[in-house]
Chain A
Amino acid sequence: MTSTDLGGRAAPPAAGPGAGQLRRGRGRLGAAGGRGGGGIVPYLFLAPYLLLFGLFVLAPSVYVIWISLHDWDFLLPGKPFVGLQNYLNLFKSGTVTSEPFWQAMTATGKFVLYSVPLLVAVPLAVAVMLNQRFPGRNFFRAAYFAPYVLGVAVVGILWRFLLDPNIGLVNHMLDRIGITTDIPWTTQTPWVWAALVGPTVWWTLGFNAVIYLAGLQDIPRELYEAAKVDGASRWQQFRNVTLPGLRPVLVFVVTITILASANVFGQPYLITQGRPGRETRSAIMLIGQEGLRDFRMGNAAAMSFLLTLALMLISVANFLLFRERKER
């Protein structure tokens, strides 16, 4: 099962942000290891987390694979072993599970494609702005972060009513200023994607912005001063000082944003109910329905495993991509 809080945001991983810091850390650890001769101490420090990790991540993950090989309903005495049939069904067209699954994967892919660029770029712009010195800066920092403290239920219900095609405030306002009437935000493609991505950006941009902000504050002032002396314009400073300085942070942000977006559940569940048809039903939504509502846990586990596999591949590709550039 993918580890997700179902809200569409991923929990920040326990590791510190950025490949750069990891590299620095490794050097230090190596030195310490050389001095102390290894021993049990580092493992003792790691043990509490490893225990929890093993109990709540590793063991269930293995269990999911086991479940996925069965026709599994945890309440029925018979759980026939079906081998790879659940997986084969997902790859064979015309089965009960394959079409919904690939439709859900496509929907998830679309959501990732539409939301990630915005969730990487917009918070960066916000962070750069909030890094300037101006009166009321702390207020704006808080204001941009504020929506993030809301739960997905609040965000979902709020935007469902704001964006309702017939009774929503957004269409009412658009009508008032005479732009157009009755945009079917929550019922028709492509508008539904705006109705899902827009609120998501509004909701979570604060989180990425805070990470960027921390990264920005790590970039030495001297570099900017040197750039200024060399006559660099603001854009050139951004391009040649800020962006390279942010690279490790950027890798982290891109990775967790892809993962969070791929785990989207609450927004389509509440704002569009996966409509129209099944076009906005995300993978997590389908897995939840299949396994927990319809009690076909074998199928759900197989889907879950494939989703996890896909996300792992994407994350690895992501790291490779950024690392390659760095070494060049």
Chain B
Amino acid sequence: MGKDRNTNQGPLNRRQFLGLGAGAGASMVLAACGGGTDAPPGAGGGGGGGGGQFGEGKEYTGPNVSLAFWNGFTGGDGPFMRQLVDQFNSEHQNIKVSMNVLRWEDFYPKVPTAVQSGNGPDIAIMHIDQLATNAARRVVIPVDEVATALQLQQDDFAPAVWSAGVYKEQRYGLPLDIHPLLFYYNQKEMEAAGISEPPKDRASFEAAAKELKGKGAQNPFWVTSTWPAHLMWWSLIHQFGGTPYNEDGSQAQFNSDAGVEALTWQVNNIQQGYSPKNVANDAQAVAFRQGKNALTWDGIWMMNEWAKVKGLEWGAAPLPQIGDQPAVWASSHNFVVTSQAQKDPNKLQASKVFISWISDHSIDWAKAGQIAARASVRESPEFQELEVQNIAAQQLDYVKFPPAVPGIGEVTAPTFELAVNEAVLGKKSPKAALDDATSKANELLAANKKKYGG
């Protein structure tokens, strides 16, 4: 699911507020009107052939062109991207990029309709688990050519993230970053409890929680019933040796022993009193800001949120290894080019230049609380100076993405995200919740397979 970060951040900003009502309403209307034409634009234009639709080289010399660039960076990351776009615009006289920010929840329903009507983005950012869906629905077009022209190669990217952008042997996404979960801790609380370094495994983590509960913080490890609890579970099922889906993404196996063990461990934290009951949306992050929650697993991008809180001394570490092997949930922002841009060769060429430029400047993006996708950037001295990002990058060898199957992002919310909620709130046992989620997921996967043609 593309629910990347926003729901998790306490104070919503103005844009998010406005987006809520208006976005939902507008997309309803759009959907009602947009159903007319049958053949989606740009179907099957992927082959390109010959000189290629993206043009040669890295430069754009054509007439003035404007590019609509959409993304969901509504949080602290938005200003970083905006600054990059402004800098790009000032350096390129004949290309004007205008950036439009929506909440991710509104972004994914809206972009397909907007692209189809021709009022959408030419380039956009999408999460890795949305690429296949949008490729199958022909919202985005293959970008193999861009990768070739820009000499972007697999060796420069983490293998997991590079291969996840491919659907039916064509590349649809160019990875910009990788953002895993991270383990944050409250330094003051840790010191008070006499814990000198962040716990790394199950024994030390549980010992730390026990110790912390004894000293000060009443509930040291808040397990939330909503986002990002299912991402914790996603990490844990892999740690316990399972996978949520089989290899080709045709079967769900949430209720495997590993899955049940993972969820049981989460629920146990509540039963032990390490977590309060009924932790609602955003509460665990707010509690961490207030120092009431000493240990929390949250997205890497939250680092900039913690940094804003005066008097909060916090540290970051790789996710502790609770199970038998290290594993962590992660997602990745990818550049995509939409079928709308395909109508204008100038736009295609200009978008290539833009993607290339941002990718080359991805060190500035990393500062927004992201791990740069390119190894060459990660190895640069500038990146080495970013402390938290470097800690997070230690997890890169074992980040776990979902399989690249169309519609996989939609399966999350009604299945394992729901199961985690039900188990954490004590409505169902972990096993029962995951059993239900698995059968529901299998039905959805079968329906998707039929719909998108396998």
Q: CB within 8 Å of B: which residues of A?
A: 1, 5-7, 60, 63-64, 67, 71-77, 79, 96, 100, 151-154, 156-157, 160-161, 164-167, 182, 184, 186-188, 265-266, 269-270, 273, 275-278, 288-289, 291-297
Question: Which among A63, A71, A100 is the interface contact of B35 at CB below 8 angstroms?
Answer: A63
Distance in angstroms from B384 CB to nearest chain A CB is 37
B34 at the interface (CB under 8 A from A): yes
In the assembled complex, the Cα of A100 lies from the Cα of B43 at a distance in Å of: 34
Tell me which residues from 418 to 454 in chain B have a Cβ below 8 Å from any Cβ of chain A: 418, 421-422, 425, 427-428, 440, 443-444, 447, 451-452
Question: Which among B112, B138, B280, B413 is the interface contact of A166 at CB below 8 angstroms?
Answer: B280
Q: CB within 8 Å of A: which residues of B?
A: 12, 17-18, 20-21, 24-25, 27-28, 31-32, 34-35, 38-40, 43, 105, 108-109, 112-113, 116, 136-139, 222, 225-226, 276-283, 286-287, 290, 292, 407, 410, 413-414, 418, 421-422, 425, 427-428, 440, 443-444, 447, 451-452
In the assembled complex, the Cα of A250 lies from the Cα of B451 at a distance in Å of: 49
Given contacts A1-B32, A63-B32, A276-B421, contact A160 B225 (CB under 8 A): no
Question: Which among B20, B34, B276, B444 is the interface contact of A182 at CB below 8 angstroms?
Answer: B276
Contacts of A187 in B (CB 8 A): 225, 278-280, 425
In the assembled complex, the Cα of A164 lies from the Cα of B325 at a distance in Å of: 36
CB <8 Å contact, B278 and A74: no
In the assembled complex, the Cα of A166 lies from the Cα of B137 at a distance in Å of: 42
Nearest 6 interchain pairs by C-beta: A184-B278, A153-B20, A187-B278, A74-B35, A165-B278, A292-B109
In the assembled complex, the Cα of A77 lies from the Cα of B109 at a distance in Å of: 18
Given contacts A75-B116, A152-B21, A276-B421, contact A166 B283 (CB under 8 A): yes
CB <8 Å contact, A76 and B451: yes
CB <8 Å contact, B225 and A6: no
CB <8 Å contact, B451 and A71: yes
In the assembled complex, the Cα of A182 lies from the Cα of B17 at a distance in Å of: 28
Given contacts A63-B35, A96-B440, contact A166 B21 (CB under 8 A): no
Given contacts A77-B39, A157-B12, contact A1 B280 (CB under 8 A): no
Contacts of B31 in A (CB 8 A): 74, 291-292, 297
Contacts of A294 in B (CB 8 A): 407, 410
Contacts of B17 in A (CB 8 A): 153-154, 157
Q: State the total of A-B contacts with C-beta under 8 angstroms.
A: 138
**Which of B34, B116, B277, B280 has its CB near the most chain A CB atoms (within 10 A)?**
B280
What are 27 residue pairs bridging A and B, where the CB atoms are less than 8 Å apart in the complex? A5-B25, A6-B25, A74-B35, A75-B112, A76-B40, A100-B414, A151-B21, A153-B17, A154-B17, A161-B282, A164-B280, A165-B278, A165-B283, A166-B276, A166-B278, A166-B280, A166-B283, A167-B287, A182-B278, A186-B278, A187-B278, A187-B425, A188-B278, A269-B24, A277-B418, A295-B410, A296-B447
CB <8 Å contact, A166 and B281: no
Contacts of B418 in A (CB 8 A): 277-278
In the assembled complex, the Cα of A292 lies from the Cα of B108 at a distance in Å of: 9
Distance in angstroms from B312 CB to nearest chain A CB is 15
CB <8 Å contact, B28 and A1: yes
In the assembled complex, the Cα of A6 lies from the Cα of B23 at a distance in Å of: 10
Contacts of A64 in B (CB 8 A): 32
CB <8 Å contact, B21 and A73: no
CB <8 Å contact, B425 and A275: yes
